[in-house]
Structure 1
């Protein structure tokens, strides 16, 4: 879809990738409904985009874990004429599986998996009535690679990718295109000092949010069903999909880094100098 024809409901709009994506999409000519939990930040973000690109942005407060809020958001988006649903909202989860609190597990899976499924379901009748529509899931390379230290996060993103894949096939004969974008680790506040320490220890590269935003714009335009970012992450996705057990021995460094990071005091992970 051409950005000029897109009316995009963007969840997670105030996050690092969400902000970069909103700026790039607005610059390309898209209209945006920004969704998130902070009215003050959403209003400021919409004003910034409008100052630069005219009447291109509105906003709506919504907690993705609140079913009533999701229903209100879906109704507002349908009334506004949304033809693209872009799921960029999410919750982080890093740490050893044995240390995960039950409430944290529920919160992460509710945000990263259940909420996108619910919102998509609520908006689908409206989207199917459009001449052309798209549902873009901002997932992760960890939606295809099980990485030590990220078991809960991987569970949500694996599930999200499976949902996107099945939905894409289910809607193949409709005007709705379903897409999945899998970035690798990104340099935003979403990834805290512990994750950055883990990435340094494992040699994991981190992309800038602008690179992910550019990939999101490209996905909107070329309507590719699925795309992963970064090397060797793209290769690992292919290998893990073909023969998952082949990679089991490749993560000794990651296991050690996850355990070491969990054992260090939080303040020792902060940058010095």
Structure 2
């Protein structure tokens, strides 16, 4: 789709990646309706709706706003982090991450589909993660939520293949934003995890909408690792020993100081 023809609903638009996406989309000529849980300053040419997508009433409100602006592109960029060894995660946190990252995008997509299917052409972009295809120690919760997004996008893409709605997946690797906790940043440094700027991810989104590819992973060797993990996952288990060791050492230190 030409970006000049795109009327985009962007969730998570006030976050680090979301704000960069909002800017890049508008710079490319798209009209953007941003969704945020916090109020945003009024800027000419920018539309905002305040909503918590974990609230069914707010999903309905967003769907109504999309109808008014005749939205034809949806970008699911809202998300919650979930770093930590499984035994350190409480049940409420786990439920919140899965609700925000997986169930809420599913419910919002369901609410928007009738309108999108009336468009001559429409696109739905799910922002997944390399961790949705590669299981890393410390990311069991977050990775599970994003793996669900990947499979949902894949299934929906096939389900809607005879309609005007195209479903796409954008899978960034680690990105340098406040989304990452201090513990996650220390983990990335200790394990040599590469990261990208929010602007890199935003430009990848613009390219994905423009060229209409089904999936795009960002970063090397993450693109290769995602494919290898899907084919020979158990054979790669030993390559993540340094990640496991760092996580185990961190837990031991925290346990000694608590």
TM normalised by structure 1 equals: 0.91
Q: How far did 1:68 drift?
A: 1.1
Bigger mean CA offset, 238-247 vs 254-263: 254-263
Matched, 1:37 2:37: yes
Q: How far did 1:263 drift?
A: 3.9
Alignment equivalent of 1:80, drawn from 57, 69, 81: 69
CA distance in 2, matches of 1:86, 1:260: 38
Q: How far did 1:86 drift?
A: 0.4
Matched, 1:69 2:58: yes
CA distance in 2, matches of 1:181, 1:261: 31
Tell me if structure 2 keeps the 8 A contact 1:197–1:261: no
Length, aligned pairs only: 255
Tell me if structure 2 keeps the 8 A contact 1:143–1:158: yes
Aligned residue number for residue 234 of structure 1: 223
Q: Deviations over 1:6-64 (max 9, x none)?
A: 0000000000000001111101110010101001xx2x2x51xx2xxxx3x21001102
Aligned residue number for residue 131 of structure 2: 142
Alignment equivalent of 1:171, drawn from 149, 160, 164: 160
CA distance in 1, matches of 2:69, 2:196: 33
Aligned residue number for residue 233 of structure 2: 244
Matched, 1:123 2:112: yes
Q: How far did 1:142 drift?
A: 0.6
Alignment equivalent of 1:225, drawn from 214, 218, 230: 214
CA distance in 1, matches of 2:221, 2:249: 23
Q: How far did 1:262 drift?
A: 3.4
Unaligned stretches of 5+ in structure 2? Answer: none
SS in 1 for 2:12: coil
SS in 2 for 1:187: coil
TM normalised by structure 2 equals: 0.96
